[in-house]
Structure 1
Amino acid sequence: MIRSAGKILMLVENYFPQDTRVKNEASLLTDAGYQVTVIALRRKGQAGRETLNRIEVYRLPTLELFKKTPSANVNRLNLLFVKLKAFLGYVVEYCYFTAACLIVSTYIFVSRGFDVIHAHNPPDTLFLVALPFKLLGKKFVFDQHDLCPELYRSRYCAAEGFYTRILRMFEWCSLKLADITIATNESYKQIQFKRANKNPRDVFVVRNGPNQMRMTPVAPSARLKEMNKFILCYIGSLNPQDGVDYLLRSLRHLLHDLKCSDFHCVIMGTGDSLQDLRDLAEKLQLNGCIELLGFVSDEDLQANLAAADICVDPDPSSPLNDVSTWIKVMEYMAYAKPIVAFDLKETRFSAGDAAVYVRPNKEAEFAEAIAQLMAQPELRKQMGAYGRRRVEHELQWNTVGKNLLTAYETLLAEK
């Protein structure tokens, strides 16, 4: 066990413990002997301060300004207005969260102290919280969940320009100030080398992986099983860049063009596009065969996932998705589920033979792949078994998380 000399302060502009990666990292470090404190956003019904499994949690009120997603068929002028509102909204929200983190961090520093500030992006402004403490000799870890310039371009179908230059500046500052950086895959690692000239010994790849709870079999949802239909399942965020609109249009093709009605699709997750997706489902006449459940409890999520026959990853090709790794793919594999996905580099690396791959962004081909897999029960079983073995031996959190412990051993050995 690592000695308990390390006190870590984590910053995340998300809910805790709902953010799976942050929860996994905080839990792993706590189990390894570190004292971990987390500053996060406060969800309705959550306490402002509490201790969860030895992790001290401080929660800040959530501030959200404006709708940040363009409606379907929006014209160029309205799209420009949406982008401007989104930019102003993000500026205010990120400035608020960064300033609030600085205040709470100062309180924690005075009251109990810490050795490391570990910032999870987005936003890339949290280096401003770490800066004064760096001057006092504390360490800074930058954990890059997303490439913010690519996230902006993918979300708004935008080219390089004014906004992306600002985002690249913040990203560069975060990478440069960090004593060590965490990348979720080799693609992100190479990008950190290229954009900030990081020393290879200061960059650690900590992949997303399901924890032990996801590896334990659970009873499938009786409600879904009683439908006697093929159950399709999606878990994850519902934002413009996540491709759930591609999934809905694929299901319309499956239902109306391929005349395949023997399915029910369960979509679990929240995000800025949830209501837009519900409207799109109604427009596509899918309401009888899909459910957009929004946020569900962990118990319901596991039961629904256990009941699935096929899981889907509709992330389209985009500047962000082409190099990103999504934990939902590994969670599908942990439940031994076959996957239909667009053929993206990091998705193929993660899933291997557990997925059927479709040319990126081809909705009709995505529907055809689902139909073909529905007709091949033995193939589904083989794909699911392969995915389960790959997670057990290579991709579960207990395996991939070891690099995080190595990163901290390296970081604090320099004290």
Structure 2
Amino acid sequence: MPGEALILVENLSVPFDRRVWQECATLRDAGWGVHVICPQGTNRDTEAEVTVDGVHILRYPLRAATGGPAGYLQEYGSALWHTFRLARKLGRIDVVHACNPPDLLFLVALRLKRRGAKFIFDQHDLCPELYLSRFGRGEDFLYRAVCALERRTYRAADVVIATNESYKEVAVTRGGKSPDDVFVVRSAPVVERFHRVPVEPELKKGKPHLLAYLGVMGPQDGVDYALRALACLRDELGRTDWHAVFIGSGDAFDDMVALSGELGLGEQVEFTGRIPDEDLLRYLSAADVCLSPDPLNPLNDVSTMNKIMEYMAMSRPIVSFALREARVSAGEAALYAKADDEPEFAKLIAHLLDSPEDREKMGELGRARVAGALSWENSQKALLAAYAAAVR
């Protein structure tokens, strides 16, 4: 029978974290009492304690890391202390559901397990691969420490939730989990929330075409690759018939704005920061091509990109680098450049700009994928099966 679930999140506020919020709503609708501990947002999700649509949320102040690994140690240490503090305010918990990164939240789960709770590890990122991809320091002492924390987390977990089959394979092989205890809950948009609105030509700033990027802007997210590809599109292919919008934020945001200026793209590239959902729908409805420029690295190759799923929900064609899980997600809804090949990325953008029929067909295929096999409805079933396995 459903009981009380506590979801722990460190890297985004809730409900802003769409995946976690969808999980909260699914559990609530299935009869679970749902509590969340997460950081406070800056422009939204600022209340320290609030109940939203029946979900009880406790939030703590957190300063995002700056600099190298030392900054993240400070951030994660603060988050862990606040999470322990807020967890003490709650009564009986039947399932503690920890979303990484970091792979430190198992420490909170262990305390609750001693009181009878079961522990579900929701692995949003492979932290060893994230470390290698973000810092470029190789397999040093900190890398080995990250691997040890991941092993401890796997060991403590009664059930693991993976975002795709690649992550499940890691949980089984590296984590030593039984395949029966690992459930694939793919990140998928609720397609009803993503709907086309009338195109506003003014968003294209007087150009025939609009290109769009949506997502986090961190060192490993490839916004720099996209900007250099756009410079190739202009300088090598002679295309100036486009305007580009980059939606989102992150710790590389200022650097990407600066790089845009260095490349002479200031007049053709717009950075919006984070925007409300209604504005997101306006931009994506007007976009002719959407960009998924994540470069090949140990993390990106095996990760499901939320931006790809949301582009498909909006029936938008995509240009991506040829990453394993990008192909699994997008299928024929995307064109794929060789990994990290910026000139080829630019050529594929140009091809789609000249091919409205291809754009239309790819958009329809993408929408069908997220409404069918990759739908959140299927992920809901897997999520509830994971909870049933944890409390059996």
How does the TM-score come out when normalised to structure 2?
A: 0.96
Q: How many Å apart are 1:222 and its aligned residue?
A: 5.0
Aligned to 2:4: 7
Residue deviations 1:253-294 (CA, integer Å, cap 9, x gap): 101121100001111011010000000000000011111111
| Corresponding residue of 1:77 | none
Return 5+ residue gaps in structure 2 as ranges.
none
Greater mean deviation of Cα atoms: 390-399 or 166-175: 390-399
Partner of 1:367: 346
Deviation at 1:229, TM superposition (A): 2.1
For 1:239-254, list aligned pairs within 5 A: 239-254=218-233
Residue 40 of structure 1 corresponds to which residue in structure 2? 38
Corresponding position of 2:322: 343
Report the equivalent of 2:24. 26
Question: Does structure 1 retain, via aligned residues, the 8 Å contact 2:130–2:298?
Answer: yes
Match in the other structure for 2:116:
137
Residue of structure 1 in register with 2:54 after alignment: 54
- Report what 1:175 is aligned to: 154
Residue 281 in 1 paired to residue 260 in 2? yes
Structure-1 residue corresponding to 2:81: 99
Q: Which amino acid aligns with 1:11?
A: L
Residues 238 and 272 of structure 1 are in contact (CA less than 8 Å); yes or no, is this contact kept in structure 2? yes
For residues 137 and 43 of structure 1, the distance between their equivalents in structure 2, rounded to whole angstroms, comes to: 32
Give the Cα separation in 1 of the matches to 2:141 and 2:292: 31
In structure 1, C-alpha distance between the alignment counterparts of 2:31 and 2:25, rounded to whole Å: 10
Please say if residues 265 and 289 of structure 1, whose CA atoms lie closer than 8 Å, have aligned partners that are also in contact.
Answer: yes
8 Å Cα contact 1:212/1:398 also seen in 2: no
SS of the residue corresponding to residue 128 of structure 1 reads helix
Name the amino acid aligned to 1:93: E
The answer (yes or no) to whether the contact 2:14–2:38 under 8 Å persists in 1 is yes
| Cross-structure match for 1:89 | 71
Asked whether the equivalents of residues 11 and 117 of structure 1 are also in contact (C-alpha less than 8 Å), the reply is yes
Aligned to 2:134, the other structure's residue is in SS state helix
- Aligned-pair identity in percent equals 44
Corresponding position: 1:269 with 2:267: no
Deviation at 1:317, TM superposition (A): 0.3
Aligned to 2:177: 198
For residues 354-412 of structure 1, the C-alpha deviation after alignment (integer angstroms, 9 at most, x for no partner) is: 00011000001100110111111111111111111111111121222210011112222
Describe the SS at the equivalent of 1:245.
helix
Aligned to 2:366, which of 379, 383, 387? 387
CA distance in 2, matches of 1:247, 1:264: 13
Say whether the 8 Å CA contact 1:214–1:331 is kept in structure 2: no
Query: What amino acid is aligned across from residue 153 of structure 1 in structure 2?
Result: L
- Counterpart code for 1:59: R
* Contact 1:394–1:400 (8 Å) recurs in 2: no
Q: SS at the partner of 1:279?
A: helix
What runs of 5+ residues in structure 1 fail to find an aligned partner?
69-85
CA contact 2:191–2:370 (8 Å) conserved in 1: no
Q: Which residue of 1 aligns with 2:296?
A: 317
- Once the two structures are superposed, residues 193-252 of structure 1 have per-residue CA deviations (whole angstroms, 9 ceiling, x without a partner) of 111210111110001101143343333445315634211111110001000100000000
Mapped contact 1:337–1:387 kept (Cα < 8 A)? yes
- Secondary structure of the 2:331 match is helix
Find the counterpart in structure 2 of residue 256 from structure 1.
Answer: 235
- Indicate the SS of the match to 2:9: strand
2:127: which partner in 1? 148
The change in CA–CA distance for 1:219 and 1:115 in structure 2 (over 3 A counts) is farther
How many pairs align? 389
Amino acid in the other structure paired with 1:145: H
Give the 3-state SS of the residue equivalent to 1:260 in structure 2. coil
The match for 1:108 is 90
Matching residue of 1:126: 105
Which deviations, in whole Å up to 9, do the C-alpha atoms of 1:41-74 show, x marking residues without a partner?
A: 1112521111111111111001235x32xxxxxx
Deviates more, 1:167-176 or 1:157-166: 157-166
| TM-score normalised by the chain length of structure 1 | 0.91
Q: Give 2:347's aligned amino acid.
A: E
- The reply on whether 1:354 has 2:336 as its aligned counterpart is no
| Residues 101 and 8 of structure 1, relative CA distance in 2, 3 Å threshold | same
State the AA in 2 paired with 1:60.
Y
CA RMSD of aligned residues (A): 1.3
